[in-house]
Amino acid sequence: MTPDVPAAGSIEVRVRYCECDPMGVAHHASYTPWMEMARTELLRSAGVTYAQLERDGVFLVVTKLEVRYRRPIRYDDRIEIACNVVGGSRVKIRHEYELTLLEPGDGRGERLTDRAGQCAVGVTELACVSADGRVRELPDWLVPKTD
């Protein structure tokens, strides 16, 4: 059976104290792991793990990473990280991300669903390489579908 990887998905995260600076604001370095978590769960939703890919000699390495910060994320905030496959080629996959505040950690406010809750947007590009680091083609089922 060939996995059917969805083009979009999301996860929710509650910001931990260790992800913040002394002012209680999420450190910029925390955004990258959150985006990776969303990307990994998107793959997992198709029944495939990164560990399985690696056992099959397929390694995905980040070749591009961009993050634009719109508003701070703070300690104990509940956020959503949306991940969308937006393109690529036979050897690359491009994802876009949106990090949105769902619930402030201090308990004030309602669930925010409009752009006012948008905290950051990001882009990653991943290249497929073999175990020896040489560029290789993605498995057919992982090649981004274009319309």
Write out the catalytic residue numbers: 21
Strand pairing report for 78-88 and 8-14: antiparallel
Cα–Cα distance measured from residue 42 to residue 39, given in angstroms and rounded to the nearest whole number: 5
CA distances from 115 to 1, 4, 10, 81 (A): 39, 30, 16, 14
Give the distance between the most distant pair of CA atoms in the chain: 51
